[in-house]
A and B are shown apart, each in its own frame.
Chain A
Amino acid sequence: MTMNRTHEMVSRLKSLQASTPDIEASAVVSVDGLIMASALPNDVEEDRVSAMSAAMLSLGERIAIELGRGTLDQVFIRGEHGYVLLMAVGTEAVLTALARKEAKLGLVFLDMRRTAAELARFV
Chain B
Amino acid sequence: MPTVKMVISGAVNAGKSEFIKTISEIEVVSTERKATDETSLIKKETTVAMDFGRIAIADDLILHLFGTPGQKRFDFMWEILSEGMLGLIIMVDSTRPDTFRETIRIIDFFNSYRETPYVVAANKQDMENAWSPEEIRLALRLPKAIKVIPCTARDKQQVKNVLLELLYSVLAAAEE
Interface pick from A5-13, A19-27, A29-37, A78-86: A29-37
Q: Mark B42-53, 1 if CB is under 8 A from A, else 0.
A: 000010111000
* In the complex, chain B residues 13-57 whose Cβ is within 8 Å of any chain A Cβ: 29-31, 33-37, 39, 46, 48-50
| B36 & A51 in contact (Cβ 8 Å cutoff) | no
Number of chain B residues whose Cβ lies closer than 8 Å to a Cβ of chain A: 19
A78, B128: Cα distance in complex, Å: 52
Given contacts A31-B48, A55-B49, A59-B49, contact A48 B73 (CB under 8 A): yes
| B39 & A32 in contact (Cβ 8 Å cutoff) | yes
A44, B105: Cα distance in complex, Å: 25
Given contacts A32-B48, A48-B76, contact A54 B33 (CB under 8 A): yes
* B116: Cβ under 8 A from any A Cβ: no
| B76 & A31 in contact (Cβ 8 Å cutoff) | no
* In the complex, chain B residues 121-156 whose Cβ is within 8 Å of any chain A Cβ: none
| B46 & A32 in contact (Cβ 8 Å cutoff) | yes
A32's contact among B30, B33, B76, B77, by CB below 8 Å, is which? B33
Residue of B nearest to A1 (CB): B36
A32, B76: Cα distance in complex, Å: 14
Specify which chain A residues have a CB less than 8 angstroms from the CB of B39 in the assembled complex: 32
Chain B positions within 8 Å of A, measured between CB atoms, are: 29-31, 33-37, 39, 46, 48-50, 69, 71, 73-74, 76-77
Chain A positions within 8 Å of B, measured between CB atoms, are: 30-34, 47-48, 50-52, 54-56, 58-59, 62, 66, 92
